[in-house]
Amino acid sequence: MKPAAFACLVLLAAMTATAARAETADVETAAGWVKYEGNPVLGGKLGTCFDISVLKDGDTYRMWFSWRPKKSVALAESKDGIR
């Protein structure tokens, strides 16, 4: 495949993905996750946190995240997914 044709395919894929995100921006996820209106859940006194992964295990939510000030991965647990 020629570079120009490949670039067109990449651009088309990016435009399609962007359009799909725009169409579903206000829709709940397939797993039922809903954005919390009181965001942000993390940050503040914890500092910079990112790369969030959440797992619901029984009645407990476990959230792993990169904790930049401590240069580590942290784990937070919650029964309601908010506190």
Closest C-alpha among 83, 70, 82 to residue 33? 82
Per-residue pLDDT band at 74 (split at 50, 70, 90):
very high
Q: Is the pLDDT of residue 78 over 60?
A: yes
H-type alpha helices, 3-75: 3-23
Looking at per-residue confidence, does 14 or 56 come out higher? 56
- In percent, the amount of the chain with pLDDT more than 70 equals 61
The answer to whether 51 and 32 are in contact (CB under 8 A) is no
Residue 5: predicted pLDDT: 42
Q: Is the pLDDT of residue 44 over 50?
A: yes
Residue 40: predicted pLDDT: 64
Mean pLDDT of 41-57: 84
Question: What six digits make up the tokens of 58?
Answer: 């029984």
